[in-house]
Structure 1
């Protein structure tokens, strides 16, 4: 089905012979506005076929080298350390340690790819033929709002541009956070009933638009660092209830169903980004995580760097009966597809529980459990063709649970209803092991986290006696810490965690992102220092626009 979708899209683009898309990222020329409308009567299908740059830019934002998905490296779940004898992980040390600076490639890549998508939207919205197709205009405005949502989350103080044609020398002004919020929400509210009710890969439905709105409401107080108004949590629930009452979505029978190579038929997916080997590859999780010899475990044919590793502090938090652990991670001695031991220079390939250090001295090639959450098929290049479940129904239920707990109940629903929602999400992870463990109580969700926060680093080299440098932060002082744990187990490596850690706070008012240590990242002792909640604006953007002012603290 996925292959047919891409063939259809490609055929539509080629079939409109007067179009010339030389590059999905070359947006410098106004191609569509040059077409004489009297020579061709446009249809809604023709307008849809012109969306290739809009769609491809989102794939680039998410999974291009230095994409949005990599920003999970800033969190307490996994990292890419300096791999001794292999290298390359040094590119990610700054992200792990929260030593953010304006020349990080991850930031410039995210910035440029997102604005490429915005520019692609602006170009089509400026075309008179496209303007006549109401659903296409709605889709473009929704996509543009999605791009701005991602930029707003990452940088907050960003330029707002809604036009394609500009005077020579024009440069966009930097919008205030409130101006940007108002624009994004206004766009979403205008199109929330115009994008259709069918959820197809690539396209934003009315329900996907509601999800973006719900995310905006859920994170509002954290983004503006003002926790005095709980009404945004109520508005979040209102949006989520529209999705729930539609009866369009349901939890997939198995957790792993959400991470198959093709998720176009998965009942849980509200919005997915499709990837395809021939036309739109890019998801490189398997390649990032696997030791080169470890490819034999699955029989995949692509390159492998062995870079990624799970933080043992996070692995320690799993319940032994939670099947999401084995759905997500592999570790220990490895065998190939035929059950034979995998050897590396005569030594058994054995992924260890602990990582040594992010950079002092770094980690050896076999250290750390590896991620297998996204499907790896025999003969595939890795996970390059795996679709991305950008919004899924489990998130709807967990977001609603969070808001109910923060409000103490809303509109007739209680904190117990919140616990029931979390239990519902957990049930598939325990149904074959110990079903009773799926149940979460209000007290557990409102209690502290079981994560043993603190610096946890072994600075000894491989042949030396272990030399652990540790501190103890604990997790008991995290408000709704139990829920924060559940979010990690359900959504690890799904671009959620950074937002969650910034949104969840400790009893002293500091958020977890800044206030806790993990692995080699240390907490900020100044509880008022929250500049790392957003990233610095890339130097390339600052140099290219005299109207931009760098974010505070950088």
Structure 2
């Protein structure tokens, strides 16, 4: 199934020129291939899908391209970080502002999701503008759903975005931003109208009825957090629950028996509702998990031959939250002395490779080369590669279950199901992580509704690096805020353990609140990031629009607070 979608993607990219869409600043700049013939040919749904290549390509690039949606959703959170690496190239400096919530309009991460999403929207609009395509109800629904998915990502990150539905615009046209309310309603309406025409068949890597349910569920689940100045409307949690119940009750997807199965390369797992397909040969793009996370010289850990960049690391406070018997800790993270595949200690320039849990600071001085536990959740394939052919799950069934559990807890029960049903759901998911100690998989309602076990507080050890490479002029900062004041803090913990580095954390931290009215994203401190306890100041819930886009289109206005 994977190679069917890759063949469609490759064919479409080969026969059609790449879309030249200047980040929603000049919709007239388009060069497209034409359908051969005299126009009398009536295309089938399969013919139309063969032209979706640019859509698939832009989804891949938006998500896991350099500084894509996955990074921007995780680097500003409390689970992972990319500190300044003073011993090596130091390229992590570009992530520091993101991690510290010191956003500005020149952060590089603000480019790719905006640019690639609007390229994808442009591709959808081009096909929908063709009557021979839009007259096919199933294809029209698919394209509207893909377009809604791109808009969902843009809305999540920026809120105040241009909303364009056609390429048939006058010369010199420059788009303007739509109000967040209108954009939200547009996305929801597109999905509601498209769902009846979408297939319920499961084809790997392609959107279907259940993918639309997941986008809608996310729109409803986050509605109150996205519009914090309005009165909380709990009916949105009911709507989110209804959407995921369709997925769960129809039984087309099943939970993986092993936690890591959905993150393997070249392997379809029936837990995955929507995957973005990566293949360095056929799709022209693989995932960069090895290169981004590992130190140069780490090749023998995985049997790869190309070098890595030494960037990201686990936040030590998060690694400390895992139960000792939770297999997801070692499934996801690698630390300590490192050996090759034969069990031999690896040395780099005569020094034993040993990834420490602790890190000095996000900057000043940053981190030494071997500091920080490294991610191994996504399979790193042996061979002559720098990227892997992982098929990344954007939505998986576990996410649908967790949405249901959260909604039941926020509603105090719904449609005949109770808070205990929510606890039973979380317990069910945890069982695969506690196979050797099943009693620890059990989560109670009280635990989920109680505080977080995360030891929040500002942590860093700053100083200067002398000529010998030692840290001098040391200033230790260690505060303790804890997590007892987080509402549904136990559930927030379970979301972290289950979905680390799956583009969840920023959205989750914004959605979960503290007893002082702040959301966790702003109101808590963690490694290298200070708290903002002004509950009315939530401007960093969204990002500034990158300066280059503002310069290119004078109709765009910067987001408030930047």
Could you say which TM-score interval applies, normalised by the shorter chain? over 0.9
Range with bigger deviation, 29-38 or 166-175: 29-38
Cα pair 2:381 2:388 within 8 Å, conserved: no
Q: What displacement does 1:436 show?
A: 0.5
* Shift in CA distance, 227/480, structure 1 to aligned 2, threshold 3 Å: farther
1:208-227 map, 5 Å? 208-225=211-228, 226-227=230-231
Cα distance in 1, alignment partners of residues 201 and 220 from structure 2: 24
Aligned residue for 2:81? Answer: 79
Structure 2: unaligned runs, 5 residues or longer: 23-28
Give the corresponding residue for 1:21. 16
Q: Give the conservation status (yes or no) of the 8 Å contact 2:19–2:123.
A: no
The within-5 A match list for 1:233-252 is: 233-252=237-256
Distance in 1 separating the partners of 2:136 and 2:384: 39
How many residues align? The count is: 547
Aligned 8 A contact 1:308 1:370 in 2: yes
Alignment correspondent of 1:533: 541
- The equivalent residue for 1:104 is 107
Residue 158 of structure 1 pairs with residue 161 of structure 2: yes
The corresponding residue for 2:470 is 463
State the partner residue of 2:55: 54
CA–CA distance in structure 1, aligned partners of residues 35 and 248 of structure 2: 44
CA contact (8 A) 1:321 1:434 kept: yes
1:522 is aligned to 530
CA distance in structure 2 between the partners assigned to 1:113 and 1:11 by the alignment: 20
Aligned to 1:193, what secondary structure does the other structure show?
Answer: helix
Q: Is the 8 A contact 1:214 1:236 kept in 2?
A: yes
Shift of residue 230, structure 1, vs aligned partner: 0.7
Q: Is the 8 A contact 1:275 1:386 kept in 2?
A: yes
- Matches of 2:458 and 2:12, distance apart in 1: 54
- The separation in 2 between residues aligned to 1:183 and 1:159, in whole angstroms, is 12
Deviation at 1:343, TM superposition (A): 0.5
Which stretch has the larger CA shift, 375-384 or 89-98?
Answer: 375-384
Which of 504, 509, 515 aligns to 2:512? It is 504
Query: For 2:119 and 2:5, how far apart are their aligned partners in 1?
Result: 23
Given the superposition, is the C-alpha separation of residues 335 and 24 from structure 1 closer, same or farther in structure 2, using an over 3 Å criterion? Answer: farther
**Residues 134 and 54 of structure 1: CA distance in aligned 2, closer, same or farther (over 3 Å):** same
CA shift, 1:517, in A, is 0.5
Change (3 A) 1:440 1:528: same
Instruction: Return the alpha-carbon distance in structure 1 between the equivalents of residues 261 and 210 of structure 2.
Output: 20
- Cα displacement (A) at 1:166: 1.1
1:135, CA displacement in angstroms?
Answer: 1.4
Q: Is the 8 A contact 2:77 2:506 kept in 1?
A: yes
Instruction: Please give the TM-score of this superposition, normalised by the length of structure 2.
Output: 0.94
| Residues 33-65 of structure 1: per-residue CA shift (max 9 Å, x gap) | 675543644222111111111111111100111
Give the match for residue 65 of structure 2. Answer: 64
Tell me if the contact between 2:17 and 2:33 (Cα under 8 Å) persists in the aligned partners.
Answer: no
What is the alpha-carbon distance in structure 2 between the residues aligned to residue 545 and residue 208 of structure 1? 33
Mark the CA change 1:184 to 1:256 in structure 2 (over 3 Å): closer, same or farther: same
- Measured in 2, the distance between the counterparts of 1:192 and 1:293 equals 49
**CA shift digits 1:330-370 (9 cap, x unpaired):** 10000111111101111100000111111110100000000
Given the alignment, which residue of 215, 229, 233 partners 1:229?
Answer: 233
Q: CA deviation at 1:414?
A: 0.6
**Residue in 1 aligned with 2:117?**
114
Which one is further off, 293-302 or 32-41? Answer: 32-41
Cα distance in 2 for residues equivalent to 1:314 and 1:361? 21
> Separation in 2 of the partners of 1:26 and 1:219?
30
Alpha-carbon shift at residue 382 of structure 1 (Å): 4.4
Q: Given the alignment, which residue of 491, 494, 497 partners 1:486?
A: 494
Q: 1:26 to 1:174 in 2, by over 3 A?
A: closer
Q: Which residue of 1 aligns with 2:179?
A: 176
| SS of residue matched to 1:390 | strand
* C-alpha distance 57-544 of structure 1, shift in aligned 2 (>3 A): same
**2:96 pairs with one of 88, 93, 100:** 93
Query: What is the TM-score of this pair, normalised by structure 1?
Result: 0.96
Q: Is the 8 A contact 1:139 1:203 kept in 2?
A: no
Deviation at 1:24, TM superposition (A): 5.9
Secondary structure of 1:459's counterpart equals strand
State the match for 2:25 in structure 1: none
Q: Give, in angstroms, the shift of residue 410 of structure 1.
A: 0.7
